[in-house]
Amino acid sequence: TSKEQWAEVEAYVVDRLLPSDAVLDAARADSDAAGLPRIEVSPPHAKLLHLLARSVGARAILEIGTLGGYSTIWLARALPEDGRLVTLEYAEAHAEVARGNLARAGLDKVAQVRVGAALDSLPKLVEEGAGPFDLVFVDADKVNSPRYVEWALKLTRPGSLIVVDNVVRGGAVTDGSGADASVRGTRETYDLVAEHPRLDATAIQTVGGKGWDGMLIARVTG
């Protein structure tokens, strides 16, 4: 098997199960036009996030790492009319594109983009009593993923889901040398989740147009 075949199967899945959507197409086009990197989740992964949010009956969602708001739109669409989503983004330029994309999607009332380093924004959310969130999607700078999971635990309730993206890294996750900061952060995330008494988790390897990676899905148990 090859990357081409993974991409071909992804295209098949998208063709069969994910009807084309002008708002999402426009969101990605605007992100491209603004020069944002193409590091958003794939459409099947975005749909998985959407289905997970629906399955837990999410009314409040927290996202760490907005980029152009592609995954944000999928997540926010899983919410009821009176639901709310907070998404944290470091780069003002990314946040601006995301705000435009969310407005076009009619989700600007539901989804709030907060600019700044997530490690600054997260304590503020706790101070504000913004939680509990029913689903937290961690998809920012991977070196800080374990810190984000720790903050997510302060902002969730028993039954909430914490999803961490890019936890396989083309297989590099098994490299314990510590040479790569993202791998280090990812491995620390596994350690934290594995040892945490309030988390029950698995990680799934995936292939697709973007290669070999995976998602960790943890349920807050208590």
SS3 assignment, position 179: coil
Specify the residue, 103 or 194, whose C-beta has the smaller distance to ligand SAM: 103
CB of 206 to ligand SAM, least distance (A): 14
Q: Does 99 bind ligand SAM (CB under 6 A)?
A: no
Give CA–CA dist 116/54, Å, rounded: 28
Contacts with ligand SAM: how many residues (CB under 6 A)?
18
Q: Are 137 and 75 in contact (CB under 8 A)?
A: yes
Q: Does 53 bind ligand SAM (CB under 6 A)?
A: no
Q: Which of 77, 94, 99, 187 binds ligand SAM (CB under 6 A)?
A: 94
The footprint of ligand SAM on residues 161-200 (CB under 6 A) is none
Q: Does 201 bind ligand SAM (CB under 6 A)?
A: no
In which residue are the tokens 């903050």 written? 151
Cα separation values, 194 from 8, 145, 152, 197, 199, Å: 35, 14, 15, 8, 8
Specify the residue, 124 or 198, whose C-beta has the smaller distance to ligand SAM: 124
Contacts of 127 (CB under 8 A, 6+ apart): none
In which residue are the tokens 């399955």 written? 55
Q: Which of 18, 33, 117, 181 binds ligand SAM (CB under 6 A)?
A: 117
Q: Give the footprint of ligand SAM on this chain (CB under 6 A).
A: 39-41, 65-67, 70-71, 88-91, 94, 117-118, 139-141
